[in-house]
Amino acid sequence: MVHIVSRMAHFYIEDTDKMFKGTDLLKVKALCLFENDGNIFVFEAYDSVKKDYFYRPIGGTTELQEYTIDTLKREIKEELNTEIKNIELKKVVENIFVCDGLPGHEIDFIYQANFCDTSFYEHKEYELIESDNERLKAFWISIEECIEGKYRLVPEVLIDYYKEKIVQKMHSK
């Protein structure tokens, strides 16, 4: 674990392989919205305390002295062995949550991008490999079904993001 303490304030960065580990440390994440025909590409994870599944865009934790855009490219390469293009920062959010009964606190840089390899747009299941060799399922789910509550999309602010996007689309017609 690497702790960085500034002279102005206590700011910690944790070097960890675990995606959701209860600590009192703030994490910086880069997440990517891949969209296709009203669907979003996510991975599936399970909250053992809430006893339900949740779905999150692909991405990961920013390493010390790494820009979030570089985090995004690195994570996509490590987890899916592919490249991305047309990368655009869409939103930066503070995400305070509880997962597996443990508190979490993140600053999430949410990007939108496209896969260079168009075969990822086939609506099938993919295997995502984490740095600790944990294997997760990644696949496309309906944005509308996320808004309706069929899938628990996290961070939750993404539901409002997509609702606003729908409203904007309606007003631009």
pLDDT in tens, 64-90: 999 999 999 999 999 999 999 999 999
Residue 154 neighbours by CB under 8 Å, 6+ apart: 54, 55, 56, 95, 97
Place of tokens 């689309």: 169
Confidence category of residue 9, pLDDT binned at 50, 70, 90: very low
Residue 97 neighbours by CB under 8 Å, 6+ apart: 103, 104, 105, 106, 154, 155, 156
d(CA 127, CA 119): 14
pLDDT in tens, 88-126: 999 999 999 999 999 999 999 999 999 999 999 987 899
Provide the pLDDT for residue 132.
82
Task: Produce one character per residue of 109-145: b if its CB has 16 or more CB atoms within 10 Å, e if not.
Answer: bbbebbbeeeebeeeeebebebeeeeebebebbebee
Is the separation of the CB atoms in 113 and 72 below 8 Å? yes
How far CA 119 is from CA of 34, 74, 113, 124, 154, in Å, comes to: 13, 19, 15, 10, 25
Indicate whether 8 pLDDT > 80: no
